[in-house]
Chain A
Amino acid sequence: DTGVSQDPRHKITKRGQNVTFRCDPISEHNRLYWYRQTLGQGPEFLTYFQNEAQLEKSRLLSDRFSAERPKGSFSTLEIQRTEQGDSAMYLCASSSFWGTEAFFGQGTRLTVV
């Protein structure tokens, strides 16, 4: 399978715990994006990387959130001190530099209890 893969698919955590999600983009894609999708709404942009550089962050990305893409390949999204409002689907997407479309992974569904 050469699509975008995300791990884990589901995560249940207690409020206050830290969680980390991983995204493996399509191998030749140098752009990688993170989105958050809450129930009944469309995805909201969080941040994006070009290679290893994080070029843009949404104001939705509070200081409890951090994303990395250390070698320009896979990326991680960490949420510290999780809150119930963090419960959502976290989607990763990748695209080539000249591509007109982004390819999404199946997402990580986070439930904070």
Chain B
Amino acid sequence: AQKITQTQPGMFVQEKEAVTLDCTYDTSDPSYGLFWYKQPSSGEMIFLIYQGSYDQQNATEGRYSLNFQKARKSANLVISASQLGDSAMYFCAMREGQGTNAGKSTFGDGTTLTVKP
């Protein structure tokens, strides 16, 4: 069963505007972590933001914020003030279980974001 669902294969946003990338997840484990990564055409996965399942507040990192709605099992990424360099593939990922096995995650199929000038 798909544990991470990203329903938007592609998104367009005008430069300087905000954009929300959707992610829903499925787990029965009360302890989990949610991640967003950016993958430019060069191929490297770049960590953007992390949200733990017990975190009370939504995570923020600069222009990135994670809209965490636990009851709805959603973890949407909000990018404010989009820049041309934000054009890339974005992946939502989840790590289940306690502990800090940071790298063993299940990834969604990604959303391609294109920022228009």
Contacts and interface: CB of A to CB of B under 8 A. Distances in A.
Nearest to B44: A106
Nearest to A89: B43
A33 B105 CA distance: 10
Shortest beta-carbon contacts, A-B, top 8: A42-B107, A102-B103, A104-B45, A33-B103, A95-B102, A106-B44, A107-B43, A101-B47
Contacts of B37: 104
Contacts of A101: 35, 47, 50, 102
Interface string A42-57: 1111001000000010
Contact of B107 (A44, A95, A96): A44
Interface string B94-117: 000000111111111110000000
Interface of A: 31-33, 40-45, 48, 56, 89, 91, 93-107, 109
Most buried by A among B46, B52, B103, B106: B103
B21 interface: no
Nearest to B35: A101
Nearest to B106: A45
A40 B44 contact: no
Interface in B1-24: 4
7 contacts: A33-B103, A41-B109, A42-B107, A91-B43, A95-B103, A97-B100, A100-B52
Interface string B31-67: 0010101000011111100101000000000000000
Contacts of B35: 101
